[in-house]
Structure 1
Amino acid sequence: MSSKVEKRIVVDVPVGTAYNQWTQFEDFPRFMGGVESVTQLSDNRLKWVAHIAGVRRHWEATIVEQIPDRRIEWASTEGARNSGAVEFSDAGGNKTQLSLTLDYQPEGMVEKVGDLLHVVARQAEHDLKQFKEFIEHEGHATGAWRESAPTSEPSASNRYAHLFDQTGGLVDLEGESDGTADGEIHSAAERKGHKPDDGGAIPPLSGNLGDR
């Protein structure tokens, strides 16, 4: 069972300004209470250290989707299991509505979902208010990242799915599959005599997206 929180706020800056500031992940401790540090490991990987419900947590997260001026979505890959997304929409008059969704999974029997939901919801509301005060006081973003990051990882709602799963969760993870796209549609015996069609080959994952 997971703890899902949804919060919204309107900030008195244009969409581009609000979005640009949110891409500066290492600045999060300046307005997010409980966040000790966020370290940019690569273009789409982040290392977090934060205090949640009085307990120091750490995790690594991947940005699974990033669309300029519209949406940023991330999901943990190691450590505390959580995911989130923030969406930006024009509220008129050079104002922006931020819609924040957080999903944090309790660890074991120590954390109760109800108690954790209350803590995360209260913290999310506080952080959005702090973000509003920060960006409206600054009047401009401290930096910007304007590149799109297409989804190269499973979505946050199914982030533990198999990379090549095209079967709605019925992929064979324990049987003959070798973990490749070809392996999901052909048995081991069939693959020995099967010559892949170059025209349908899966292109390699993209490289460096650039500097933030």
Structure 2
Amino acid sequence: MSTARESIEVAVPAGVAYEQLTHFENYPQFMSGVMSMAPIDASTAHMVLDIGGNRAEFDARITETRPGEFLCWEALDGPQVSEALRLEPMADGMTRVIAELQIDARELMPTEQHAVEVLNRRLKADLKGFKRFCEEAATKTTVNRPVTATPATIARGIASASGLTHATNERPPQGPPAAGNLGPMQHALNRDAARTKQTRF
């Protein structure tokens, strides 16, 4: 058996990374060399892979899981292929993904050394693709998240639509007071005007 080991840090929580790995239908979006992937049921899929220019076809099944921590899948027929993925939570919502890919490459590769080189390149590319896939999916989820309307934002929206808004800390312009609600100064001016009118006659 030829074995390749690689790791990468992904900017999503371990639970999110684990969820993406449990869905075989996601694999063509980040796994290099996938010629076709046909899910059979929730944990099994028919895979056709290009491994170092050689075609490998088999049914694969998820054989072991620990939610948010570990996942392993392996071929049920054809060449012996298996991959174990361990997830280690890190600070700031990051996750280290540690992958180990094993394959019996005697039928596919000319030498053991060649097989290990091919698998290392393949696994490194797969992990980079997985990082990109997870982080882009997380970004889309954040961007498309609906904004919750609070009573304050609703009130501001209504005021804006009716043209009733004004600059912050700025009082709306005051018109003349309505009749019957005159200030003391206006009452005094009215009395003086009335007296002047009387003296003229």
Range class of TM-score, shorter chain: 0.5 to 0.7
User: Which aligned segments of 4 or more residues in structure 1 are displaced greater than 3 angstroms?
Assistant: 107-110
**Pairwise mapping of residues 5-84 of structure 1 onto structure 2 (< 5 A)?**
5-84=4-83
Cα drift, residue 40 of structure 1: 2.0
1:96 equivalent in alignment to 2:92: no
Q: Distance in 1 between matches of 2:111 and 2:28?
A: 26
Q: Distance in 2 between matches of 1:29 and 1:91?
A: 27
Q: Is contact 1:5-1:102 (8 Å) kept?
A: yes
Cα drift, residue 38 of structure 1: 2.2
The TM-score normalised by the length of structure 1 is 0.62
Q: Distance in 2 between matches of 1:123 and 1:109?
A: 14
**Measured at CA, do residues 90 and 42 of structure 1 come closer, stay the same or move farther in structure 2, by a change above 3 Å?**
same
Q: Is contact 2:52-2:109 (8 Å) kept?
A: no
SS of the residue aligned with 1:139? helix
RMSD of equivalent CA atoms = 1.9
Q: Distance in 1 between matches of 2:118 and 2:50?
A: 11
Greater helix percent: which structure? 2
**Measured at CA, do residues 141 and 24 of structure 1 come closer, stay the same or move farther in structure 2, by a change above 3 Å?**
farther
**Measured at CA, do residues 140 and 87 of structure 1 come closer, stay the same or move farther in structure 2, by a change above 3 Å?**
farther
Q: Distance in 2 between matches of 1:33 and 1:141?
A: 23
Cα drift, residue 85 of structure 1: 0.7
Cα drift, residue 44 of structure 1: 2.9
The TM-score normalised by the length of structure 2 is 0.65
Q: How far does the alpha carbon of each residue in 1:94-142 deviate from its partner, in whole angstroms, 9 at most, with x for none?
A: 0001010110101348531110110110110011011111211221699
Q: Is contact 2:54-2:108 (8 Å) kept?
A: no
The gaps in structure 2 that reach 5 residues or longer are: 142-201
Q: How far does the alpha carbon of each residue in 1:12-71 deviate from its partner, in whole angstroms, 9 at most, with x for none?
A: 111111111111211211111111222221233221111000112111122210111011
Q: Is contact 1:31-1:131 (8 Å) kept?
A: yes
Q: Is contact 2:24-2:43 (8 Å) kept?
A: no
Report the count of equivalent residues. 141
